[in-house]
Each structure stands twice: as structure tokens, then as C-alpha cells.
Amino acid sequence: MTSLLSDFVSFHASRPHGSLGYVEMNVEPVPDAWVESFARLADDAVVFGTLPDGSLLVLARTSEGEKVILLGSEGETDTLGESVADFLWRWSRGDTGEAYDLNEGSVAEIATWLRERGIAEPSSPKVAFDANAWLEGGSVDVAPVVDVSDSDAVPEALEPLLREVANAVGRRADDARVVELVGKLGKRVPASLSDSKWVEAPKQGLQLLFEPELLHADHAPVPKTKSSFVPFLSLVDFGAKASPTVLGVTLDAPVEALDEALGVHRAVPTTRRDDAKTTPEWRLALGRDVELVARGVEKRRWSIAIRQALSLGTLDVSTRVFLGWAATRGLLEPLEGLAALATRETTPSTTSALYPRGLWDVHLREPLRHFAYGWFHRIGPVWIRSDFESVFGSRPGPHGHAMPDLDDDGWASVDRVTSVLEERFAAFV
């Protein structure tokens, strides 16, 4: 362990509990459970802090120098510092990613402590050290960024920050436009992800959402390691502090002013459980399926996001049987291979190959997407599992929950459940 970190552990111990974050500073080996997953942690890393939820702060010795890594209580990993000094300076600003417990108390005292020791704040790279790749022993061959030119659909009248955001959203995190935007905000781009991650820029009032996969036909997942992917910048949320002006209107402009600038709003349900309660929503197309979205009246939110599909689920046997029926009733969007399914020349089992990334709402005809989403996810009074159990009966699933007693995804199963599906989707057939 470095002398700087040893000195800081002693300093932290001298302070009242909780005054410098809720963390127990204790130097110990990495637990066996983590070593079993990532063998190099046994020799090249040491724990120096434990958070209340069981997450661990780890100092790792890498070929790029010593890094501070978070081993999360739910299996997630993150780079908290490009060096011990970088980590401590970030901690002093409350910039600790998802290690929120570190930010409690008077963490600004850490900056004073560092200055008294002549520790200057180091410059950080624009892309964070890839903790996932280091833990897994390296990355796979990553497909290069495919240059997608800026769209002429981005209005010239947008203020510069909004144009820059609009040209970055929907692109890979290793795209130069994304790296440049995040760097200007004083943040780092995550190098790889296995789950979504928010990057917050509180000074600018922005929150950036990075995701390992976009539910979009033009953006396939890009593997980075055995279990992680190159992230995509999917959304940028503008808080009240950002106060953007969009085509002459501000965040708190009256509904009528937004209607004139962005087009007449549409009323959208406030929740998926209650279609009766609605709120105004405006969408302005910015090219590449990227949109500026404004929603609400009193607590209005602005964001720039890529339009994504909604997942209906994996292609389990019930879903495959449903798709067989839906194909015969013309309820699916055109796709090569569906014609043979609709005429029963092929079987519903072929849908696993037709929808390799799962079933999305946009795979269904537009009129029934909203209803189908609720049916698949048990939002409201009807549910696919209940309907299928009413026909096939139920049995315990692999995790103890009941599931339809159904293994055959052939046409005989489709015929058995057809009357139930015809009744359930009567408004759409």
C-alpha cells in the first residue's frame, strides 16, 4: 500500500466516525468470493475500505500504475481513481460514482489535508481505466467505431451545448464526440459496462446515462470483455440548474409557448397503470432517432435521448407460442421469415432466430404495443402467465415461482391457446 494511502488511513481514523464518509478503513486481503471470480485480486490487490452495504474499496496494482477500484456488493465494479491521489481528490469533491456512502460528512476536509502535504490534483484521462478488462485479464477484439456523420436534422437554432449533446447521444462511449463532451464536463467516460451507469455533472446540472445495450435495431451490443460491453450514451437529462433555452423557450415556459416552438404536445399517461392521468409531452426530432423530450407542467423535465424500444421479454416457450399466433393474425411488423410463419410453413420455434435480442414492443404493430407491454409485464389486470396457465395449468419454475406447464411451442399449443388470445386481443384483431 502506498505511503499516501497509509497516511490517509491514519488521518481518517483520527476523525469522528462519519465525518469523512461512512466507510471503515481497514487493510485486509480481498475476500475469497471475489478471488474465485477474479484470480488476479489475490496477488495484485488489497482492500482498504468497506462501505455499509458491503462494497469494497480496493487498491489494485496494474501495468498502468496503481488504481482504486470499487468491488460492489451486488457484483458491480468501477474505477474510482486513476491513482490514490486522484481518488482522494475526487472523494473531496463528492465525485465517487456509485459509492455514495463516501460522500457523507465534511469530505472537503480531504482537500485541505492533501494541500497541506503538497499533493497536487492530478489530471485525469477522459476515459476511465477499464476495471472490468483488468479483472478479466484483458478485453476482446472490439469492433471499431463506425463514423455516423452529424445529421442535418439538428436545428441550427439550438444553443451550442444542446447541439453538442444531440450529436453525442446515441453513440458509443469510445466515439470522439462522446469523449469530448464528457471531458468538457470534467468527467470520465466509462470504458466498459455490464449494467447501466449514470455520470453526474452537478455543476452543469446534467446527468448522462450510459448503457451496455441500446434496444435499437441499428445499435448491436459491442462486447468488450467476457461479461461487459462498450457503453452507449443513451440519454442526457437537463436539471433545473442547466436552464436550457430551446428554440427560444425555457424550461418553465407556458404550455402554449412550447406548443408554438416544438409543435403541439400530446397527452401521455403519467404511469403505465393509469391511462386516465396524463401529462403533456413534446418531442423534437434531432436525427439518428435522437430526440429532445420535454414532459410535464409544473415539474417539467428536459432530456435528449435516443428513441429505444421497450423489452417485452426473452423468447421463452410462452412467448414463442404467442408469436406464432400473432403472426397468423398479422399483428407483427414485417420481418424476413415471418411470412412462412404466418402460413404455418415453419414453427414458432423459429422466432428465437428471428428475434435474437428478445421481443420488443416495436416488433408488434403500433396499435397494440402499449397494451402488450402491460400484458407481458403484469401492469394492470391481465398477464401472459395467467392467461397461459388458464389453458395449460401451472408447475413450479426453476426459482420456485409458478409457470405455465408448457414445453411444446408447436402449432398444437398455439391452437389450444388461440381462443384465450383472440379474446384478450379482440380490440386489435
Q: Which residues contact 192 (CB under 8 A, 6 or more apart)?
A: 130, 132, 133, 139, 212, 224, 225, 228, 229, 230, 231
Tell me the residue type at 343: T
Q: Is the pLDDT of residue 271 over 80?
A: no
Tell me: do 298 and 166 sit in the same domain.
yes
Q: Tell me whether residue 105 is in a domain.
A: yes
The domain boundary residue, chosen from 260, 275, 306: 306
The domain boundary residue, chosen from 306, 324, 358: 306
Tell me: do 16 and 96 sit in the same domain.
yes
Tell me: do 286 and 339 sit in the same domain.
no
Tell me: do 22 and 66 sit in the same domain.
yes
Tell me: do 279 and 351 sit in the same domain.
no
Can you tell me the mean pLDDT for 169-195?
95
Q: Tell me whether residue 257 is in a domain.
A: yes
Q: Tell me whether residue 143 is in a domain.
A: no
Question: Which has more pLDDT, 226 or 327?
Answer: 327
CA distance 429 to 427: 6
CA distance 189 to 171: 12
Q: Tell me whether residue 133 is in a domain.
A: no
Tell me: do 258 and 391 sit in the same domain.
no
- pLDDT band at residue 153 using 50, 70 and 90 as cut-offs: low
What mean pLDDT, rounded, does the chain reach?
Answer: 93
Tell me: do 288 and 170 sit in the same domain.
yes
- pLDDT tens digits, 210-242: 999 999 999 999 999 999 999 999 999 998 788
Q: Which residues contact 298 (CB under 8 A, 6 or more apart)?
A: none
Q: Is the pLDDT of residue 387 over 80?
A: yes
Per-residue confidence (pLDDT) for residue 172, from 0 to 100: 97
Question: Whole domain around residue 404: which residue ranges?
Answer: 311-424
Q: Which of 374, 375, 424, 364 lies closest to 269, judged by CA?
A: 374
Can you tell me the mean pLDDT for 368-389?
96
Can you tell me the mean pLDDT for 403-427?
98
Per-residue confidence (pLDDT) for residue 143, from 0 to 100: 78
> To which residue does cell 486522484 refer?
86
Q: Cβ(187)–Cβ(202) under 8 Å?
A: no
Tell me: do 291 and 374 sit in the same domain.
no
Q: Tell me whether residue 374 is in a domain.
A: yes
If one counts the domains in the chain, the total is 3
- pLDDT tens digits, 357-368: 999 999 999 999
Q: Is the pLDDT of residue 342 over 80?
A: yes
> To which residue does cell 423534437 refer?
284
Q: Within a 10 A sphere around the Cβ of 299, how many other Cβ atoms?
A: 8
Q: Is the pLDDT of residue 311 over 90?
A: yes
CA distance 303 to 209: 11
Q: Is the pLDDT of residue 150 over 60?
A: no
Tell me: do 11 and 107 sit in the same domain.
yes
User: How far is CA 398 from each of CA 206, 212, 238, 319, rounded to the nearest angstrom?
Assistant: 42, 27, 42, 17
Q: Which of 316, 337, 329 lies closest to 385, judged by CA?
A: 316
Q: Tell me whether residue 152 is in a domain.
A: no
Read off the C-alpha cell for 97.
460514482
Interior CA angle at 209 toward 206 and 210, to 5°? 140
Q: Reduce the DSSP state of residue 214 to 3 states and report it.
A: coil
Tell me: do 168 and 300 sit in the same domain.
yes
The domain boundary residue, chosen from 291, 306, 321: 306
Tell me: do 98 and 233 sit in the same domain.
no
Q: Tell me whether residue 9 is in a domain.
A: yes
Can you tell me the mean pLDDT for 260-272?
87
